Amino acid sequence: MIKPHQQPASNSLCPLCQRDNHCALARGHAPDSCWCMHTAVDATQQSRAQAIDPARCVCPYCAAPTKGAKR
């Protein structure tokens, strides 16, 4: 339940870093026009994001391969 002073998370924000996720769907555009449909998304980061909020997409920064680095 959302407390009165809390706002629901915006679907246009990355659940991992809270940056703009540039999601076309969140902006009311066709899914095929979204950047993530044409870019590889790091599976570990996607799993982390899904665990936080399955309705929100990661941003291009968080979608990039981690190359072994911890975030």
Strands (E), 1-71: none
* 67, amino acid identity: K
pTM of the model: 0.74
- Reported as a single tens digit per residue, the pLDDT across 12-70 is 999 999 999 999 988 999 999 999 999 999 999 999 999 999 989 999 999 998 754 45
Return d(Cα 71, Cα 16) in angstroms, integer.
9
Alpha-carbon distances of 5 from 1, 2, 8, 18, rounded to whole Å: 12, 8, 10, 18
